Structures are given as structure tokens and as C-alpha cells.
């Protein structure tokens, strides 16, 4: 069983569209994250949720809206997509906020044309 | 959070021991050192974490000198499948969840 899963794996869309990426973890963890890895391979944290509560929002445009319906899910909705949003988006989870061992999903490669 | 500096890339051959050094001159008392590994087209994977001296697990060893201003990740007898990017992170005990990744070290293992 995959510990942290994301769908879709690939997403190609046009500028101005709205899209969502879904993430689920079956590890029973309390904390989930979204990261963005750009073309230069820098991995940056975007959001962190703990028990469905937003903990980190790292200067991300408000076009990005995370939603956590329950502890096991953290979805990322992106409005009005821009070319600069093209990147690989990783979801991750950890047992709780005190643990730096995070489990990452396989990533979603978003291409905005 | 302490900034880390590590080599951009390293080459090795199968069966060799690989040591990747990371410097973190501004590490704080409450910080500890964490290493992640990332294969192409995959998310990073936690390797090892330590505060001081030496930590060993089934994958790697982590050596941290007394001043803690640097650390060395040691991979024994690497194989081709160890080709990956290795990230050194300094993590604050009061912000364990906030990982800041640098550019990492690209390790290429040759046959």
C-alpha cells in the first residue's frame, strides 16, 4: 500500500484554468504538507496542516488554496493558473509537528501552457 | 534557520564508501541535522538524523563533530541505485515540521 499518494501524477493545462491536486496518506499522521519543486530543483514548503488546521502558509499567492477535509487528506486547489506555476508539487506527511521525518508522495508534475 | 553548504556534485564508483560533508556554521543549540535522499522523479526520503557525535542506521552513518558546525553523511559500499540528490537540513527543535531544502549534492555512482 502506498503511504502517501497523489493524483494526478501529470497535469497539463492552459493558463487561466483552475485545477486541483489530491493527496491522501494512510499512515495515521497528524500533519500534512505541500511542497513545490521548480525547474531548478529547489524544493520549497508551501503549506502545512496539523489536524486539519493550517500551520504554515509560506508567502504563497492566494490563488493556491489548500483544503483538508480530514487528517488523511490535504488537497491543493489552484485558481487562474499561470506559466510560473509549472513545477512538481509534492505532498508529504509526518507523525506530528515535532517530527522532522516526513514521508513524501510521488509528486504531481503540473505543466501550464 | 541555519544555512547549509554542501558540494554541488560528487562522483563515485560502485562498492566505494562515499562521504558527503555539509557545513552549517550558524547552527543553534536547539538545532539538529537531518539528511534526505531524492531519486529522479520521486519525492525526498528521510535517511538519518542526529544532534551530535555519531548516528548509524541500516542505510548510512552521520558524523557530527563536537562544534557541530559541520556534519558528514557516510554511505558504505554504494551501488548504482544510490545515485540521487542528497540534502542536508538543519532543523530547529521548536520547528521540526519546517524543512528548508537547499540545492543538495548530486551523487553519481558509476559502474
Helix (H, G, I), strand (E, B) or coil at B94: helix
Instruction: Look at residues B34, B101, B31, B100 and name the one whose alpha carbon lies nearest to residue B62.
Output: B34
With b for 16 or more beta-carbon neighbours within 10 A and e for fewer, the A6-39 pattern comes to beeeebebeeeeebebbbbbeeebbbbbbbbbee
Condensed to tens digits (0 to 9), the pLDDT of residues B1-27 reads: 568 999 999 999 999 999 999 999 999
User: Would an 8 Å CB–CB cutoff place A27 in contact with chain B?
Assistant: no
Partner residue facing A106 (CB), from B43, B91, B99: B43
Please, is A106 exposed, middle or buried when counting C-beta atoms within 10 Å of its C-beta (0-12, 13-18, 19+)? middle
Half-sphere exposure of B78 (CA within 13 A, CB side): 24
DSSP-derived pairing of the beta strands B61-64 and B53-56: antiparallel
Q: A61-86 as b/e, with b when 16 or more CB fall inside 10 Å?
A: eeebebebeebebbbbebeebeeebb
For A:70-89, CB contacts with B below 8 A are: none
What is the maximum alpha-carbon separation in chain A? 39
Mutate to test the interface with A, among B96, B103, B105 (most CBs of A within 10 A): B96
* Interchain proximity B97–A43, CB inside 8 Å: no
Give SS3 for B46. strand
Q: State how far the Cα of B60 lies from the Cα of B55, in Å rounded to an integer.
A: 8
Domain locations in chain A?
Answer: 4-112
pLDDT for res B27: 92
- pLDDT at position B17: 97
Q: What residues does each domain of chain B span?
A: 9-110
- Give the burial string for B43-79 (b: 16+ CB within 10 Å, else e): bbbbbbbbeeeebeeeebbbbbeeebebbbbbbeebe
**Does A8 sit behind a cis peptide bond, omega within 30 degrees of 0 on the bond before it?**
yes
What is the per-residue pLDDT across A5-23, written as a single tens digit (0 to 9) for each? 999 999 999 999 999 999 9
Report the CATH architecture of A4-112.
Answer: Sandwich (2.60)
Cβ atoms of residues B46 and B77 within 8 Å:
no
Please report the pLDDT score of residue A1 as a whole number: 63
Whole-number pLDDT of residue B2: 60
How distant is the Cα of B101 from the closest Cα of chain A, in angstroms?
6
Q: Mind listing the pLDDT tens digit for each residue in B17-71?
A: 999 999 999 999 989 999 999 999 899 999 999 999 999 999 999 999 999 999 9
CA gap B80, B3 in Å, rounded = 30
Hey, is the C-beta of A99 within 8 angstroms of any chain B C-beta?
yes
**Residues B9-110, CATH architecture:** Sandwich (2.60)
At residue B93, the pLDDT reads 80
Nearest CB partner across the interface for A104, out of B43, B97, B104:
B43
Amino acid at each position: 500500500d502506498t503511504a502517501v499518494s497523489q493524483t494526478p501524477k501529470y497535469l497539463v493545462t492552459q493558463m487561466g484554468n483552475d485545477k486541483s491536486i489530491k493527496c491522501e496518506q494512510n499512515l495515521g499522521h497528524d500533519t500534512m504538507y505541500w511542497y513545490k519543486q521548480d525547474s531548478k530543483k529547489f524544493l520549497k514548503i508551501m503549506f502545512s496542516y496539523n489536524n486539519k488546521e493550517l500551520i504554515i502558509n509560506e508567502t504563497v499567492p492566494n490563488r493556491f488554496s489548500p483544503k483538508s477535509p480530514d487528517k488523511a487528506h490535504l488537497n491543493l486547489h489552484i485558481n487562474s493558473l499561470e506559466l510560473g506555476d509549472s513545477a512538481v508539487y509534492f505532498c508529504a506527511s509526518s507523525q506530528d509537528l515535532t517530527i522532522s521525518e516526513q514521508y513524501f508522495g510521488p509528486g504531481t508534475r503540473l505543466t501550464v501552457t | 534557520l541555519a544555512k547549509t553548504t554542501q558540494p554541488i556534485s560528487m562522483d563515485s564508483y560502485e562498492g566505494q564508501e562515499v562521504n558527503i560533508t555539509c557545513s552549517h556554521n550558524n547552527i543553534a543549540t536547539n538545532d539538529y541535522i537531518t539528511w534526505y535522499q531524492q531519486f529522479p522523479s520521486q519525492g525526498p526520503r528521510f535517511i538519518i538524523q542526529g544532534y551530535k557525535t555519531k548516528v548509524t542506521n541500516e542505510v548510512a552513518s552521520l558524523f557530527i563533530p563536537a562544534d557541530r558546525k559541520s556534519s558528514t553523511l557516510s554511505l558504505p559500499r554504494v551501488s548504482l541505485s544510490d545515485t540521487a540528490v542528497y540534502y542536508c537540513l538543519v532543523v530547529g527543535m521548536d520547528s521540526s515540521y519546517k524543512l528548508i531544502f537547499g540545492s543538495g549534492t548530486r551523487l553519481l555512482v558509476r559502474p
